[in-house]
Amino acid sequence: MARVIAIANQKGGVGKTTTAVNLGASLAASEKHTLIIDSDPQANATSALGFPKDPSRRTLYQNLILAESIDRIILDAKMDRLELVPSDKNLVGAAVELVTMESREYRLKESVAQLRERYDYILVDCPPSLDLLTLNALAAADSVLVPIQCEYLALEGVSELLDTLMRLRRTINPSLAIEGILLTMYDDRTTLSKQVAADLRSFFGAQVFETVIPRNVRLAEAPSHGMPVLFYDIHSKGAESYIQLAKEVIANAQKRVGQGTERADQGAGADATPAAASAAAAGSGSGTSGGSDGGSTGTQSD
Ligand code: ATP
Ligand code: MG
């Protein structure tokens, strides 16, 4: 049964699409059958996977609004075990048209239900807003992966977002877990990146993935060649970091199986401790004092 992971952050440009495409490709490379659902009218994941604009192509719009079978929309993403539900700008209309539809938050959940048996992972790339498209993704998902750019005020943004997610747990999806907080565009030459990473780790503890995605020009270049970074430059730091992230996601899933599903909502490290929660509750402000466990910065390569 697939694990459905929504990749969401209402802030724009934090690395959601880069993560959907490259985590997806890295999971597929690790023998996991993976579907990427592009749920953003900007269609950046669609083009990054090598599908330029084509008005005749069926997209998620046809499925969500016109109830066409999702099977007729899924494309082969030119890599073994990787498939795509594409988007295009018509999806802007979907966010509006959904408002008056019945069970408007649950349309994607219904579509995804019939796909769960066919995939190991289904990743949903969300738009930078909390509109009905994002709500559909969060209603359909088992967990949410939150990419955070290592920059000033990152901590405030992520606290707000997690509050929102907790509210959603009380309404549209009681079993929504936090897959993990992912530090992106990390630059180990800047003190700011290091401070932000240390702060996030001391507040959110094991909910933060150990893998950190560095700022890497190959990651920014690959989409214009219509391919995941794995194919564009497999030896780049960017490619290495997403392969490492895929390993971490897979390892966490295995830990969950070993420990029973109730541990699922404890975040990136299945060995999350209450210390993280109490650190957050203690709320030592948004100061930049280095956390004691800010040690695992930078990507590991093995
Ligand atoms: P939006 O909110 O608009 O959907 P997003 O959160 O999906 O944006 P991306 O499109 O993944 O963010 O990234 C924003 C820009 O930053 C893109 O140009 C992307 O190529 C670049 N980028 C993302 N991650 C990295 C990285 N680790 N190193 C360098 N550039 C990156
Ligand atoms: Mg995007």
Residue 108: count other Cβ atoms within 10 Å of its Cβ.
Answer: 28
Q: Smallest Cα–Cα separation from 49: which of 231, 250, 243?
A: 231
Tell me the pLDDT band of 45, cut-offs 50, 70 and 90.
very high
Question: Among all ligands shown, which has an atom nearest to the Cα of 224?
Answer: 1
Looking from the CA of residue 44, the nearest atom of ligand 1 is 10
Domain ranges of the chain: 3-282
Using one digit for the tens of pLDDT, what is the confidence trace for 109-131? 999 999 999 999 999 999 999 99
- pLDDT tens for 228-240 read 999 999 999 999 9
Tell me what pLDDT residue 26 has: 98
- Cβ of 14 below 6 Å from ligand 1: yes
Tens-place pLDDT, residues 53-66: 999 999 999 999 99
**pLDDT at residue 97 tops 90:** yes
| Structure-block tokens of residue 256 | 């969950």
pLDDT at 158: 85
Q: Ligand 1: does its nearest atom lie under 6 Å from the Cβ of 294?
A: no
User: Can you give 150-164 as a three-state secondary structure string?
Assistant: CCCCHHHHHHHHHHH
In this predicted structure, the answer to whether residue 288 has a pLDDT above a threshold of 70 is no
Give per-residue pLDDT as tens, 185-223: 999 999 999 999 999 999 999 999 999 999 999 999 999
The amino acid occupying position 23 is L
- Count of C-beta atoms within a 10 Å radius of residue 2: 19
| Cα–Cα distance, 123 to 64 (Å, whole number) | 17
Choose the weakest-confidence range: 53-57, 265-269, 271-275.
271-275
Residues of the chain with pLDDT > 90, as a percent, come to 76
User: Token pair of 257, please?
Assistant: 């199986």
Q: Which of 93, 89, 85, 78 is nearest to 55 (CA)?
A: 89
Closest-CA residue to 217 (of 233, 194, 193, 231): 233
What atom of ligand 1 comes closest to residue 223's alpha carbon?
20
Residue 281's pLDDT is 34
Closest ligand 1 atom to residue 184 Cα is 27
For residue 60, which of 108, 117, 122, 101 has the smallest C-alpha distance? Answer: 108
Q: How far is the CA of 275 from the centre of ligand 1 (A)?
A: 32
231 to 196, 234, 264: CA distances (angstroms): 31, 6, 32
pLDDT for the residue 268: 52
Of 135, 287, 296, the residue nearest 208 (C-alpha)? 296
What is the mean predicted confidence (pLDDT) over 74-86? 97
pLDDT of residue 257: 87
Nearest by Cα to 144 from 179, 108, 188: 179
CA of 223 to the centre of ligand 1 (A): 10
Instruction: Return the pLDDT at 241.
Output: 98
Verify whether ligand 1 is closer than 6 Å to residue 149 (CB atom): no
For the cut 70, the answer to whether the pLDDT of residue 282 exceeds it is no
Helices (H) and strands (E) counted in the chain, each on its own, are 12, 8
- Does the beta carbon of 15 sit less than 6 angstroms from any atom of ligand 1? yes
Q: Which of 17, 190, 232 to mutate to test the pocket of ligand 1 (most atoms within 8 A of CB)?
A: 17
Which residues lie across from 37 on neighbouring strands?
85, 124
Residue 265 DSSP symbol: G
pTM over 0.95, yes/no = no
Q: What is the pLDDT of residue 259?
A: 80
The CATH H-level (homologous superfamily) assignment of domain 3-282 is P-loop containing nucleotide triphosphate hydrolases (3.40.50.300)
- Ligand 1 centroid to 276 CA: how many Å? 28
Q: State mean pLDDT over 12-25.
A: 97
Q: Write down the pLDDT at residue 274.
A: 33
| Pair of tokens at residue 125 | 């790339």
Predicted local distance difference test score (pLDDT) of residue 153:
80
Ligand approaching nearest to the C-alpha of 11: 1
pLDDT band at 269 (very low <50, low <70, confident <90, very high): very low
Determine the Cα–Cα distance for residues 81 and 67; give it in Å rounded to an integer.
25
Confidence category of residue 155, pLDDT binned at 50, 70, 90: confident
Name which residue sits closest to atom 20 of ligand 1, judged by CA. 220
Question: Sign of the C-alpha dihedral, residues 237, 213, 239, 244?
Answer: positive
Atom 19 of ligand 1, residue of closest alpha carbon: 220
Q: Does the pLDDT value for residue 151 go beyond 70?
A: yes
Give pLDDT, residue 217: 98
Q: According to the model, what pLDDT value does residue 261 have?
A: 53
Q: Which of 238, 6, 4 is nearest to 127 (CA)?
A: 6
pLDDT over 70 at 297, yes or no? no
CA dist 146 → 1, 48, 73, 152, 201 (Å): 22, 20, 27, 17, 14
What percent of the chain has a predicted confidence (pLDDT) above 70? 86
Q: Does residue 246 sit in helix, strand or coil?
A: helix
User: Per-residue pLDDT for 271 more than 70?
Assistant: no
